[in-house]
Amino acid sequence: MNLVTLDFESAYGKHPVTKENITLRRLTTEEYVRHPEFKIHCVGIKHNDEPAYYVDTLDGIEPVEQALYGVDWDSTALIAHHAHFDGAILNWLLGLKPRFWFDTMLMANALYPWMSSSLARVAKFLEIGEKGHALLDTKDKWDLDP
């Protein structure tokens, strides 16, 4: 069984044209992901024990599709922190269905119910590194600088 870890990053906040506030705080996950203005900025990908890498959409969605359509999802388990969100993008937008789903956020909720299950908190608690902050200032940005 192959393991693929994914983390999608998407545009959120005030849309530059419609001025609509498109966020997961205002919309359900389904409304957000299926919104006509939904946009993937990039996806972090890790195959088994290989180094992680990311693919962006600066030149369109095709590089993301190419990276993910090449995976044999019938024999792959998806690992994601909040797989509900990443899995929705993978399935609803890209039509891909992993054989198994592992959600590290839900695992953290079950194992450590007394603490926040945010990726930053869980990584610090388990001493496995720090969550990056490179995309922290992307609110209201539908187009990112390279």
User: Mean of the pLDDT values across residues 22-50?
Assistant: 95
Tens digits of residue pLDDT in 115-137: 887 777 878 887 877 776 666 67
pLDDT tens digit string along 26-39?
999 999 999 999 99
Count the residues in the chain.
Answer: 146
Q: What is the mean pLDDT of residues 55-83?
A: 94
Higher pLDDT, 113 or 65: 65
Rounded Cα gap, residues 63 and 5, in angstroms: 17
Q: In this predicted model, which residue has the larger pLDDT, 27 or 144?
A: 27
Is the pLDDT confidence value at 109 over 90?
A: no
